């Protein structure tokens, strides 16, 4: 079996400086260079940085505050809108188990135009005050556009509905009779204990 000579009297030239050193004393660096013992350099730690994973985002067993959580957008059924008769501006909206009430405001997004109603009108920024038909549907009344055929379903497959800013103006108007300038003429009973507004004395009277 072949053997190497001890090299105790051999000399070597440094790959870095070219200086002569005893071959037995020379060292090999991480990059393969053979250098003298006074030239030897360890590999810098930054050349092999430690891999750091992403920061954790999710919480363990979170408990969101559902009491104050704002309801988000609800994906409606395919073609959730149905136009009324020809020339009508009333649209029936189908939203199963909507849980909404008359005078609620609903904002629609991602709708598609149908039967004379444009996307701009359907996606009205302020939304529409609704009138509940049943647990699965309600109606809205748009302005400026009417049905061209009537009785048509449309709106697309990705339309959403979300609660808009609540407004009681429609409810108040339905209880009071006013002039065009806003002068109160009369009032009807508006709650369960029969409280009415006396337009003469401008006071509330209980029947």
For residue 196, the enclosing domain spans: 170-206
Is 86 found in the same domain as 161? yes
- Which residues, 6 or more positions from 1, have their beta carbon under 8 angstroms from its beta carbon? none
- Is residue 114 included in any domain, yes or no? yes
Distance of CA 93 to the CA centre of its chain: 22
- Is residue 65 included in any domain, yes or no? no
Is 82 found in the same domain as 113? yes
Distance CA 111, CA 109 (A): 6
- Is residue 112 included in any domain, yes or no? yes
Res 199 pLDDT > 90: no
- Is residue 199 included in any domain, yes or no? yes
Q: How many domains does the chain have?
A: 3
Is 175 found in the same domain as 155? no
Question: By three-state DSSP, how is residue 47 classified?
Answer: helix
- Looking at residue 51, what DSSP letter applies? P
Is 200 found in the same domain as 131? no
Structure confidence by residue, pLDDT tens digits, 53-67: 888 888 888 877 666
Is 136 found in the same domain as 183? no
Is 177 found in the same domain as 113? no
Distance CA 95, CA 84 (A): 17
Is 181 found in the same domain as 147? no
Distance CA 51, CA 190 (A): 69
In CATH, what number is assigned to the domain containing residue 128? 2.40.30.20
Structure tokens at 120: 């701009």
Least confident of 63-72, 76-85, 138-147: 63-72
Determine how many CB atoms are found less than 10 A away from the CB of residue 110.
Answer: 16
Of the ranges 43-52, 153-162, 195-204, the best mean pLDDT one: 153-162
pLDDT band at 51 (very low <50, low <70, confident <90, very high): confident
Looking at residue 188, its pLDDT comes to 46
- Is residue 32 included in any domain, yes or no? yes
Is 86 found in the same domain as 121? yes
Res 176 pLDDT > 60: no
Residues found in the chain: 207
Structure tokens at 34: 């053979």
Structure tokens at 165: 């800013």
Is 182 found in the same domain as 162? no
Structure tokens at 198: 């006396």
The DSSP bridge partners found for residue 11 are 22
pLDDT band at 181 (very low <50, low <70, confident <90, very high): low
Res 191 pLDDT > 60: no
Distance CA 164, CA 104 (A): 8
Is 174 found in the same domain as 160? no
- Is residue 111 included in any domain, yes or no? yes
Structure confidence by residue, pLDDT tens digits, 129-170: 999 999 999 999 998 999 999 999 999 999 999 988 765 555
- Is residue 157 included in any domain, yes or no? yes
- Is residue 27 included in any domain, yes or no? yes
Distance CA 55, CA 52 (A): 9
Is 188 found in the same domain as 131? no
């Amino acid at each position: 079996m072949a053997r190497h000579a001890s090299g105790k009297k051999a000399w070597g030239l440094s790959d870095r400086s070219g200086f002569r050193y005893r071959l037995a004393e020379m060292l090999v660096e991480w990059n393969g260079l053979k250098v003298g013992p006074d030239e030897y350099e360890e590999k810098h730690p930054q050349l092999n940085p430690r891999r750091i994973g992403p920061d954790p985002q999710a919480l363990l067993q979170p408990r969101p505050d559902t009491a104050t959580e704002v309801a988000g957008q609800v994906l409606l059924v395919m073609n959730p809108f149905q136009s009324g008769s020809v020339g009508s501006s009333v649209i029936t909206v189908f939203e199963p188990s909507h849980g909404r009430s008359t005078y609620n405001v609903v904002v629609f997004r991602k709708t598609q135009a149908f039967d004379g109603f444009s996307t701009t009108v359907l996606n009205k920024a302020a939304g529409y005050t609704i009138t509940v038909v049943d647990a699965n549907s309600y109606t809205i009344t748009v302005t400026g556009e009417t049905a061209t055929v009537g009785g048509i379903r449309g709106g697309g497959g990705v339309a959403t509905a979300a609660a808009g800013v609540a407004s009681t103006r429609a409810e108040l108007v339905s209880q009071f009779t006013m002039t065009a300038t806003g002068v109160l003429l009369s009032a009807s009973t508006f709650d369960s204990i029969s409280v009415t507004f006396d337009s003469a004395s401008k006071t509330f009277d209980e029947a």
